[in-house]
Structure formats: C-alpha cells, structure tokens
Structure 1
Amino acid sequence: CPAKIQRERLAARDGETDNHGELIMRAQAGRKARLAAAADIIKNAGSLAATRQQVEALHNTYVNLAASV
C-alpha cells in the first residue's frame, strides 16, 4: 500500500509519530525491492473485504496446487 497509508496504520497500531514511523519505514526494504522479490502480491490499500477476497483467492490457488502434487 502507499507510504501514506503505511504511516497512518503504523500510527494507529503503535501510536508512533510521523517522524518515528518514517524512520521505521526507511529501515525496511523499499517498495520496488519488495515487489520485485514477491512471488505473490496482495493489494491492501482498499477495503477489508477486498483484501480478504484476494487472500481467499490466493489461498485457494495454493490449496489446489498442493492437491495436484
């Protein structure tokens, strides 16, 4: 999700200030690096229902894959 949403979620979850949240985010791999390394991507900037739908679809993909081996 976009950096702005990440900072908002960090503040809501941990009560972090914007400055400390920014330091935490800078210590992590950047968005491009994370996306390049990912086998699967779930976009969680939308609603909880939309995220849940993506998770369930990906879960079903892996359940079916496991059943085929």
Structure 2
Amino acid sequence: MGSGKPLKPVLAIAVRRALEDMIDSRRRRVGESIAEAYRRIPETDDELRWAAESTRSMIAEEPW
C-alpha cells in the first residue's frame, strides 16, 4: 500500500458493490420464482377479469 491512499474508500466501494450484487441476485431469484409460480398455476379467467375490473374502478376514482 505504498500509494499513500487510505484503504477505507476502496473497501467501502468494494463492500457497496458486493451488497448491490447480492441484492440484485436475490431480486432476480425472487422474480424468477414468482414467474415460475405463474407458469405452474396461471391465473384463471375470473381472476384476470376481476383484476381488470378493479384496475378500471381504481383509475375511475382518481380525481384527475
């Protein structure tokens, strides 16, 4: 470490990147798990219809 630069900023950057990678990996796994669940057990037509109707109703209630 002859450069005279403190190690703390470099270590902080390395830790931050490692944490970001860990979080990104977990998000990916969770997303893949959710998608796989929907592939195994897709939503029914009734569920999709309910979701669409609920969405339209919520949007219609907005005061824009």
TM-score, normalised via structure 1 length: 0.32
What is the TM-score normalised by the length of structure 2?
0.34
Structure whose alpha-carbon radius of gyration is higher: 2
Between Structure 1 and Structure 2, the one with more helix by share is 2
Larger RCO of the pair (alpha carbons < 8 Å, separation 6+): 1
